[in-house]
Structure 1
Amino acid sequence: MNVRRSATVLAAVAVIGAATPAAAAPSPSPSQAFPSALYGDKDPQYDGVWRQSLALLAQHTVGVKPAAKSVEWLVRQQCADGSFAPYRADPTTACDAKTMVDTNQTAAAVQALTALGGHDAVTGKAVTWLKSVQNKDGGWGYTPGGASDTNSTSVVIGALTAAGEKPQQVEKGGKSPYDALLTLALGCDGDDAGAFAFQPDEKGELAANADATAAGVLGTVGKGMVVKPGARTEAAKGQACEGKNKKTPEQAAANGAGYLTKALAEDGHLTSPTPGSDPQPDYGNTADAVVALAAHGDTGQAAKSLRWLEKNSAAWAAQNGPAAYAQLIFAAHATGTNPRDFGGTDLVKRLNATGPAPQTTEKTRATDEKSDSDVFGVWWYVGVCLVAGVGIGFLFSGRRKRQQP
C-alpha cells in the first residue's frame, strides 16, 4: 500500500507506488546526516517510519533478522500517547501539538513490530491510539480527525488484525471499519464497476481509484501487508459485479478484485496519470494490486502482473529504495515467488543493502532458501495435478527461476 493521501498530505508529500510517498525526497547533503539505523538515504521527513516499518516487515517475512539498532530506532520513534510521526530527529524530545503524527505510520509500525515480536507494550499503546482517533463513520483519515479514506482505513485494519484485534468489533458510534469501506465502494454501473474511491469528492461523489481499490480489497478481507500464498484460483476471471450485495465486505472485496483484474488485464500493470504526458506504469500500485488479488484468492491475474513486475520494476525499485523493495517482496511472497531471484534480482539482498546489515547468518539464509524451494515444489505439484485433472489453472511455479509514508 504506497502512501496515497488526502490533498493536505499530498501537498506535503508530493501513498507507495501505493506504499511510499509519490515524490522522492532529496538525498542528504554532507551536513544533513540521518541516523545510521535508518533504511534508505533520502530525507525521511515524510516517510521515515513508513519505510523503516516496511523494510523490517519484509525482512522478517523472508526469514531475515533485522539489525537490532534498526528495530530500536523504530521503537524510539513512538510518542508517549502511542502514535508515530513520520520522523523525529530527536526522539528524546517529547511529542507536542506540533508533532505531525498520522495513522499510516502508526499502523505500519504496528504491523512490523507485531511480526518481529517482543514489543507488546509498544504495539498495544499504538493500537489504543488508533482506536482513539477512529472516525464516527468507522474509518480513519491520514491524520487524526481527517475525513476517512480507503487507504488509511485499510492499513489500520491490517494493524488491528496483526495485533489480534477483530476489526469488525472495533467501532465508533456503532460503525466499524468495514462500514466505512462500504461507503467508499462504487456500485456496479459503468466501466468503473466494483472499484473503491479514495474519498468522496467535494460533491460527495465517488470516483474509481485503482490504488484505493487495491487497499480496499485488502481491507475488506481483513488482511495486512503480508499475505500468505493462497490456493490457486481464477476466481475473478469473468466475474460480474454484484450490486445488490455490495453492502457486505465479502461482495465488495469480490467486486474490487474484479475491477483490478480488468484494469490489469490489458498491459499487466496499473498506470499513473502524469499531467502533460502519457500515463506511466505505476509499479508500486501494481505490486499492491498483486497482493490484494492474492489475498482474495484471484491468483491468475496476480501471477501475470507479478511476471510483469519481475521484468520491469528493477529501475523503479532502485530509485525508490527500501519501501519499494519491500512492496515487491510482499508481492512475491503473496504469489509464492522467490524474492531472491525476482527476474534475476535478489530483492532481499537489495533491501538489506539500503540499511544496516541484518543479524541473519549465511546458515540461516541457506535454511530459508531451502524452505522456499520446498514450498515452490509443493505448489508445482499442486499445479500439475490441477492441470491434469481439470485442464485449467495457472502454474505459478512453471516460471519460477528460482517485490516506501
Structure 2
Amino acid sequence: MARAVVIGGGVGGLSAGVALLRKGWEVTVLERAPAIEPVGSGLAIAANALKALDALGLGDRVRALAHAEGPLMLRRADGRRLTATTEEAADGAYGDSVVVMLRAALLDILAGGLAEAGGPDCLRVGTAVTGVDAQRGVVRTSAGDLAADLVVAADGIKSLTRRALFPGHPDPSYAGVTVWRALIPLGDVRLDDGSPCDPSRVPRSESWGRGAVLGVHLLAGDQVYIYATDVAPPGGAAPDEREELLRRFGDWHEPIPALLRAADPARIIRGDIYYQATPLPAYHRGRVALVGDAAHAMTPNLGQGACQAIEDAVVLGHLADPARPGESLAAYTAARKERTTRIVRRSLTLCRMSRLRNPLAVWLRDSALTAANRISPDLMLRSMDEILRWRPPAEAAR
C-alpha cells in the first residue's frame, strides 16, 4: 500500500489525510503540538468548500452546525446598508450558502473523519518535523525518519517545508492590517439601556469604515463570532485588547459597541495578516506537495483561506498516484496554482479597498457599492460566482 506522510494537523493537513485515506493510501498525519489546537475563533465554509467536504463524506456534519438566518449584509460604520444577499439566493445559485463555525468544531469533524477512515493511529501529535528529503520522500522527525511515497506539507503560513523546497523565494508579505478575533456568549451582551441583546439584534454583517472592518456572525450555541481589522504596524499589541477595540470601533453602529463591551479581554486573539505576494513557481517538488497557507496564504477578505485548503486536499487526493509521483504532482500544481493565485489577488484587492482611510476615497468606495447594488441587487453573490461554482474533480467530470 502506498504511504503518505502529512505535515501539520490543521484544516489542510487533516483534510488531505482524509482524502488520501479514501483513495486507498496509508496515511500518517504529524502534528508538533501535543494536541490538535485551533488557531483563531471562527471561520467560514462557503459553498465550494462544502462540496469539497461532501467528497470527504463530511459535508453534512458541517451543515448541521449552520446558524444562518436572515440576510448577509455589507454595511457602513454608521449601519447604513451597502449591499446584501440572502441564504435563499445563495442556495438557489450554488446549492449551498455559507456556514460560519468554530474552527475547533471543524477540526473535530476532520479529526473524526480521519480516525474513521484510518484508525486512531493515523494522527501523531507531539511530533516535530525537522527536515524533508523531497526527492527520496523522507520526513525527518523528533521520533525518527519516516519514508513516504508522498509527503504533504500543510505546515502553515510559516512553512519550513516551503522554505526548504524553494530557498530564496520571498516569504509572505504583510498586508498592512491587523486582525482581532473573539467569541462572545450572546447572554453576556447588554445594550446601552441595559436590556439583553436577542438574536434578532445580531444580523450577519460586515461593516466597513475608514481603514477598518468589523464582522459579526451568530454561531450555533448562541455564541457571537466577531472579527475586526484595522490599519496598524505589524507586531503591535495593547495592554487591554478590548479597550483597544472599543477605542477603534466603540462609536460604530449597534450592536458592535455592546458586543465589544461584553468581550473577555483574555480571549481576544490579535494577529497580523500576511499573504503570498509572489506566487510559488509550483506547489510541488519531488515527492512533496504543498497545501493551504503553505502554498498560497491569502488575506481573509473573501473568507476563502480554509476553503481553498480543503479544495487543495480533495484535488490532491484525486490526482496523487504512487506509480508516477512526479507527473501526478505536476497535475496537482496545474489544477490548483492558477485558481488559488487569482483568489489571493482578489482577496488582496478587497483588503486594499477596506483599508482606505482618505475620507473622499471612502465616500467614493461606498457610493460605488451602493450604486452597483441598485443596478445589480445580487452584486454580492455575482462577485463570488467563479469561486463558489467550483466542484470536486470527480463531480465536475460527471
The structure with the largest helix share of the pair is 1
Q: TM-score of the superposition, structure 2-length normalised?
A: 0.26
Higher RCO (Cα < 8 Å, 6 or more apart): 2
Q: TM-score of the superposition, structure 1-length normalised?
A: 0.26
Q: Which has the larger radius of gyration?
A: 2
